[in-house]
Structure 1
Amino acid sequence: MTPLSQLPLEAARSVRVVLTDIDDTVTTEGILTAKAYGALEQLHRAGFIVIPVTGRPAGWCDHIARMWPVDAVVGENGAFYFRYDRERKTMEQRFWAIPEELKQNRMRLDAVEREVLATVPGCALASDQAYRLADLAIDFCEDVPALPEAEVDRIVSIFEKAGAQAKVSSIHVNGWFGDYNKLSMAKTLLADVFGLDWEQARKTVVYAGDSPNDEPMFEAFPMSIGVANIQAFAHRLKHKPAYIANGHSGDGFAELAGLLLRARGA
């Protein structure tokens, strides 16, 4: 991973879209700092398309799309995107699965939930699970004492045994049924709403993240950035980000924003 400070100026000037994870990329130890939120707002005001791409739930994403200085949000690791039209005061939503599939998948996830909670002591249902529509989030360190890595892997294996996808974030194991991830829905959003085909996106998008569930994005985008705390997960990543910030979490995101703003002369 090359230091972010070595990102070529020409590449930084080509960036039109900032995609970013939220937990431990924009937030810092569970807190959205003024510095990181200000970086989002500065990017948005400077004309960048700003889109969080997160594992967080639909209930949170409705709030983020409405209240944050962003252009849209991808949630639940690619299950949907939400975009709030402030002029028309309407929320545009697109889900990967149809309602009947969501209903059937929820019943299957309920069975996985029971097995995980019975099999892996110390884990818990994520506190935001009540606001989720498409996935199951198992907490291994957000509101519970941190579990050993082997126990996190046991949670992943239970999801996979049931035929579900499972991704490890910095705080949760997220599992779902469906052939999608952060990248597939981000590509759909960029094409549907912003008219960016894949070749354009690869040249004009930067992605920032911090954990294994960001790996599809790290692999796909040449300008992929890890905040410094990505180092804790580097051994789990086959595809690492191309660049790494000096700052941790929200400080690393603000570092990226500052570089992009300077490159644009904003």
Structure 2
Amino acid sequence: MKPLSQFSRAEARAIRAVLTDIDDTVTTEGTLTASAYAALEQLHRAGLLVIPVTGRPAGWCDHIARMWPVDAVVGENGAFYFRYDRQQKKMHQHFWASREERIRNRARLDLIEKEVLGTVPGTALASDQDYRVADLAIDFCEDVPALPESEVDRIVAVFERAGAQAKVSSIHVNGWFGDYNKLSMAKTLLADVFGIDWETAKKSVVFAGDSPNDEPMFAAFPLSVGVANVHAFAHRLTNKPAYITDGHSGEGFAELARMVLDARE
């Protein structure tokens, strides 16, 4: 991981879209700071596409798409994207799986929930679970005392034994049934809504993240950036971000935004 100061000014000037994780990338210790929110707003006002790509639930993503200075949001680790048309006052929703598939998958996830909560002490459902449509989020440190890494691995193993995908974020283990992730839905959104094909995206899109569920994005985007706290998960990442900020969490995201905006002046 190279320091962000080595990011080419020419590459920064070519950036058309900023994709970013939310938890511990834009937020700091669970809080959306003024400086991080301002960075989102400044990027958006400068004419860049701003798209959160998060593990957070559909209920949150409806709010984010409507009220944040963003062009769209990918949620639940790629289960869907939401895009709010402010002129028409209409929310556009695109899901990877049909409603019928999501209902069937929920029944299978309910069985995993019972097994995890019954066999891994100290776990809890994520407090935002009621607002999810496609995945199961197990809290291992957001609203519960932090569990050791060995217990996080036990949670992942339960999902995988049942044939589900499982990704570790900075706060949750998210699991789902389906062949999608953050990257697959981000590529779908960029191509179908904004007309950015993959070859163009590799040169004009930057992604910021901090944890293992961002790894598909780190692996795919040549212009990928980890905020400094990604160091805590470096041992779990086969594919690390190309660059790393000096600042942690929201401060690191604001650092990235300044770099992009400065290159455009």
Tell me which residue corresponds to 2:116.
116
Partner of 1:19: 19
Residue correspondence of structure 1 range 89-238 to structure 2 within 5 A:
89-238=89-238
Amino acid at match of 1:211: S
- Scaled by the length of structure 2, the TM-score of the pair is 1.00
Amino acid at match of 1:40: L
* Structure 1 position 43, deviation (Å): 0.2
Give the whole-Å Cα distance in 2 for the aligned partners of 1:197 and 1:23. 27
Q: Distance in 2 between matches of 1:101 and 1:26?
A: 32
* Large movers: runs of 4+ above 6 Å: none
Letter matched to residue 41 of structure 1: E
TM-fit CA distance, 1:42: 0.2
Q: In structure 2, what is the equivalent of residue 76 of structure 1?
A: 76
1:247-262 matches, within 5 Å, as 247-262=247-262
Distance 1:99 1:2 in 2: 43
Q: CA deviation at 1:22?
A: 0.1
Q: Distance in 1 between matches of 2:201 and 2:88?
A: 27
TM-aligned CA deviation for residue 178 of structure 1 = 0.2
Tell me the alpha carbon deviations over residues 221-264 of structure 1, each in whole angstroms, 9 at most, x when there is no partner.
00000000000000000000000000000000000000000000
Q: Which runs of 5+ in 2 are unaligned?
A: none
Quote the sequence identity (%): 79
Counterparts of 1:47-62 in structure 2 under 5 Å? 47-62=47-62
Shift of 1:33: 0.2
CA distance in 1, matches of 2:226, 2:197: 24
The whole-number CA distance in structure 2 between the counterparts of 1:197 and 1:241 is: 21
Q: Which residue of 2 aligns with 1:38?
A: 38
Q: Which letter maps to 2:121?
A: P
* Partner Cα distance (1:30, 1:62) in 2: 19
State the distance in 2 between where 1:138 and 1:174 align.
Answer: 6
Which amino acid in the other structure matches residue 139 of structure 2?
D
For residue 110 of structure 1, give the secondary structure of its aligned residue in structure 2.
helix
Amino acid at match of 1:233: F
CA–CA distance in structure 2, aligned partners of residues 11 and 251 of structure 1: 22
1:191 CA drift (Å): 0.6
SS of the equivalent of 2:196 reads coil
TM-score normalised to the size of structure 1?
Answer: 0.99
Q: Return the offset for 1:159.
A: 0.2
